[in-house]
Amino acid sequence: MTELVVRRLLIDLSQPVDRHWCNGDPFLTAWFNALSMSFPVGEQFFIDAVRNGFKALPEAEQAAFMTEIKGFIGQEATHRRIHALFNAQIEKHGLVNEWEPRARERLRLLDGTDPRHGLAITAANEHFTALFAEWLLSHPTLLDDCEPRLRALWHWHSAEEAEHKCTAFDLYQHLGGSEAWRTRWMRRVTLIFLTDTLRQTANNLKRDGTLWQWRTWRSAGRNLLGRHGLLRCTFRPWRAYFKPDFHPNQQSSDLSSNWLNENAQLYVKVEGAA
């Protein structure tokens, strides 16, 4: 079991955020904003999925998972809250979150289904976020020119995602979740997540009036498909998820744990949280 610490990040999100807060780059800003828009509903879903999975465990086996699940829920609840504050700031720029209602509608289809479905979906998303975390932390210049509080927000969230990347996966396996459904959900989640992210990013750029600017597309090409781009760098570790003996621990999260160790002044630990 992993010991998961709940941390309260010491940043103030009551102050406005610049329109192009991410290095003055409209594409990166719109992309990060789109991701942030998905977090409140997505992370609530992960919390519910893990909670339902925990309840489905035989009582005698619950104790072994209890502490880790509490930590997972505490971390995701903190992310959800802080991103809701961030989202309230970016909505003042005229952006509209069209992802959230679409996601809510879709997630309703899972009501009353076997809890392992929710866990497989959560495990797939957690794999994404862990890959994103290591990519972001291995390219720190991406957030070099951001305000320190926003840099801290994204690095902290990334680092904690890597820290709890095994929780949903382990619970799914412990509940006897099949390999076939694990990989099937990864395929579906990949398609849905990429489509939704690109759709909301385009929507943000359109409302920002920067969708048809050359610099936007140049940045998209470089940051997604370039030599150091997100999609290019994460393709192989993403594909590893389909191996029958895959476990999230097989992939390094050193950058994330280093960040948490080196930036302890940016947060306080929340005792007894969940």
- Cβ neighbours of 99 (radius 10 Å): 20
Nearest distance from residue 92's CB to Fe ion, in Å? 23
Nearest distance from residue 99's CB to Fe ion, in Å? 16
> Which of the stretches 27-35, 70-78, 82-90, 182-190 binds Fe ion when contact is defined by CB under 5 A?
70-78
Q: What residues between 162 and 181 interact with Fe ion by CB under 5 A?
A: none
First to last CA, the chain: 17
> If we measure between CA atoms, which residue out of 192, 215, 193, 212 comes closest to residue 202?
212
Q: Which is nearer to Fe ion, 25 or 161 (CB)?
A: 161
Q: Which is nearer to Fe ion, 25 or 76 (CB)?
A: 76
Nearest distance from residue 76's CB to Fe ion, in Å? 5
Site map for Fe ion, 142-161, x if CB under 5 A? Answer: -------------------x
133 Cβ partners below 8 Å, 6+ apart?
Answer: 157, 158, 159, 161, 162, 253, 255, 256
* Residue 79 touching Fe ion (CB under 5 A): yes
Nearest distance from residue 51's CB to Fe ion, in Å? 14
Q: Which is nearer to Fe ion, 68 or 161 (CB)?
A: 161
How many CA atoms within 13 Å lie on the side-chain side of 146? 22
Q: Which is nearer to Fe ion, 117 or 157 (CB)?
A: 157
Nearest distance from residue 153's CB to Fe ion, in Å? 11
Q: Could you write out the DSSP letters of every residue in 75-86? A: HHHHHHHHHHHH
* Secondary structure class of 174 (helix, strand, coil): helix
Beta strands in the chain (DSSP E): 7-9, 267-269
Nearest distance from residue 129's CB to Fe ion, in Å? 5
- Cβ neighbours of 176 (radius 10 Å): 7
Q: Which is nearer to Fe ion, 182 or 220 (CB)?
A: 182
Per CB under 5 A, residues contacting Fe ion are 76, 79, 161
